Structure 1
């Protein structure tokens, strides 16, 4: 005869969010790390934060800070991208935006960049968004 032992797990959520109902508080608590795991994965896989270059702690700390800075700059740039690219990871944007097939043609004293029509429209959207960006005052 097998006796089933019932185990209870008790959890408590301490919060100062008085405006939320109990159900809303539990939902907020369950969603608190929704994007952080994806951000950590993106930092590790797309920006080299997963492997450290050497055994020196200070050098590794500097390397990781540079990786984090490049991720934060990319996250800022991603906010300026058109809606079709704004939710993609760095690898996808690298292939779709940075890796566009183009031909640079020099005629006389002028340079032309020849692109496919869909690439040209995307590049124009990105350039317009970058020109319209005003950094916050320091």
Structure 2
């Protein structure tokens, strides 16, 4: 792993102090990168920390002029969080990575179904505002609202969904169903 002398010195200090047994607070620094032919000057932001698995140095090349910690925490990490978290929720919560069919068309259809399920989960979470499920992860929503034992009775005019006497989220489910049954304004 390539690290700078500054980061290596900080990691050596942590090892000498015995901090490798524990977490360490993040250390932020910056340096001028090797002179390359760029039209504008660049900064190399460094973050070093000690995690349970060992040293964890990170580097960001930027032209932003803010403080090193602010650039790393507010810009770099946040940018990744905005794009990576929905992908992670889609893959882990709805098994969107299960694309094991031998045909492209079948895998594309599976991914399309996973995306439709994710949109359904977002709609359920929005309808669950003000309940215990308002901030639930996709897997929690599936367990609480979709994978629930119920008896369904169909009459000529209505569909009845009867839950068990003890259903932990029955009040939330009733509220969500009521909110979703009202038509959206045009």
Note the residue ranges of structure 1 that are not aligned, 5 or more in a row: 15-20, 106-110
Instruction: Summarize the alignment of residues 40-119 of structure 1 with structure 2, pairs less than 5 Å apart.
Output: 40-82=87-129, 83-100=131-148, 113=162, 115-116=165-166, 119=169
Please report how far the alpha carbon of residue 60 of structure 1 lies from its aligned counterpart in structure 2 after TM superposition. Answer: 1.3
Q: CA RMSD in A?
A: 3.5
Higher relative contact order (CA 8 A, sep 6+): 1
Q: Deviations over 1:42-79 (max 9, x none)?
A: 21122221121312223212221221122122212211
TM-score when scaled to structure 1? 0.62
Which residue does the alignment assign to 1:126?
Answer: 176
Instruction: Summarize the alignment of residues 8-47 of structure 1 with structure 2, pairs less than 5 Å apart.
Output: 8=31, 10=44, 11-13=61-63, 22=66, 26=71, 27-47=74-94
Which residue does the alignment assign to 2:5?
Answer: 6
Secondary structure at the counterpart of residue 80 of structure 2: coil
Give the total of aligned pairs.
Answer: 121
Please report how far the alpha carbon of residue 81 of structure 1 lies from its aligned counterpart in structure 2 after TM superposition. Answer: 1.1
Moved over 6 A (4+): none
TM-score when scaled to structure 2? 0.49
Note the residue ranges of structure 2 that are not aligned, 5 or more in a row: 7-30, 34-43, 45-60, 154-159
